Amino acid sequence: MKSRKLRDMVVSEIGYGSMGLSQGYGSVPDRKESIELIRSIYDLGCNFFDTAEAYAMGDNESLLGEALTGIRNKVTIASKFWIQESTEDYSIEKLMGTIKNKIENSLKRLKTDHIELYYQHRVNKDIPVEDIAYCMGELIKEGKILGWGQSQATEQEIRRAHAITPITAIQSEYSIMARQFEKDVIPTCGELGIGFVAFSPLANGFLSGQISAEIQFKGIDARRVITRFENNNIIANQPLLEVLHRFARLKEATPAQISLAWMLHKNNFIVPIPGSRNLKRVQENMGSAELVLNENEFNQIETALSSIQIHGNRADEDLAKLRTLKD
């Protein structure tokens, strides 16, 4: 596995998003099975693992911490903190206290004394990004974190925060089906020397080519409320899958591998973090690093994509509806 830089942090070219081992896609795997999977992912050359305090109320961090015991110093861990509300008596001192409490709890769950990359899970519009950036700078000085970032941030939020404490990476949704950040955020990252970590790089599994309109998602599965998985949108998005299948045949690869290879070709500071729970799929995803598109192939894909309209998306507002659904 080759490496890439997120600012000055070196990570494997493809990382792993561990959320699905604890929540998001229906029933979760057995804990022992999940730990074995994480170790297998490391053996495949991946050394960049992503989690968050919000995933299964901290249990995902605990799972990752247990799985990485013995190889902790050989991997890069990214986690996230979430500050959903602000108070009338807000002060930067209270903010710092809240964040310090969060980082200490995450460190305990992860069984470590530092986190390499610590993101603000979503930008809170009631708290100045400059204050968050200041607090992150203090954590860096204390050695609790080595770098920091934002998730789903706007260009201006990135610029304002970066001016206070340089940002290591932005983590946001990005895939062939979700290219909204190509206009301003990704170019800004390139300009400022910030890495870009792509979550849902396979559009929650849609780009695997294994999803059909007949499939039924049940229980606490995010795809029940993600609009790209509505039956009419699955059908409407078939032209995209046909393009991926066509290039997959040409390259003796899979649609998922073409999708990830396309992303790796786009910019050398982009690192996708697919999160399959199946070892065969993980091997397939990690194998994308060996699939190199030449400039002509890449341009052909871009040309084919330019005439395709994408139907449906993944929105936080829709995901919030999952809590109200009944089985």
* Known catalytic membership, residue 25: no
CA distance readout (Å), 309 to 39, 224, 225: 39, 22, 20
Distance CA 154, CA 33 (A): 38
Q: What's the CATH number of domain 3-204+266-291, 3.30.56.10, 2.140.10.10, 2.40.10.10, 3.20.20.100?
A: 3.20.20.100
Write the DSSP symbol of residue 226: -
Phi, psi of 317 (to 5 degrees): -60, -40
Distance CA 68, CA 268 (A): 27
Distance CA 189, CA 153 (A): 11
Instruction: Report helix, strand or coil for 272.
Output: strand
Q: At 128, list the tokens.
A: 């100045």
Distance CA 258, CA 243 (A): 10
Helices (H), 252-314: 255-266, 279-286, 295-306
Per-residue pLDDT of the chain (327 residues; tens, 9 = 90+): 999 999 999 999 999 999 999 998 888 999 999 999 999 999 999 999 999 999 999 999 999 999 999 999 999 999 999 997 776 788 999 999 999 999 999 999 999 999 999 999 999 988 999 999 999 999 999 999 999 999 999 999 999 999 999 999 999 999 999 999 999 999 999 999 999 999 999 999 999 988 888 888 888 888 988 999 999 999 999 999 999 999 999 999 999 999 999 999 999 999 999 999 999 999 999 999 999 999 999 999 999 999 999 999 988 888 888 777 766
pLDDT at 217: 85
CA distance readout (Å), 80 to 89, 257, 318: 25, 27, 21
Distance CA 213, CA 276 (A): 21
pLDDT at 327: 64
pTM of the predicted model as reported, rounded to 2 decimal places: 0.96
CA distance readout (Å), 146 to 183, 184, 257, 301, 319: 29, 26, 31, 37, 31
CB 46 within 8 A of CB 67: no
Distance CA 209, CA 254 (A): 8
How many residues appear in the chain?
Answer: 327
Nearest to 148 by CA among 108, 112, 121, 128: 121
Helix 238-251 × helix 295-306 angle, to 10°: 160
Element (H, E) at 130: helix 129-142
Nearest to 61 by CA among 143, 141, 121, 124: 121
CA distance readout (Å), 110 to 15, 63, 82: 17, 8, 17
Per the prediction, the chain carries an average pLDDT of 95
Q: At 179, list the tokens.
A: 């290219």
pLDDT at 210: 85
pLDDT at 326: 64
CA distance readout (Å), 273 to 13, 16, 131, 194, 267: 9, 5, 28, 17, 15
Which one is catalytic: 25, 42, 55, 174?
55
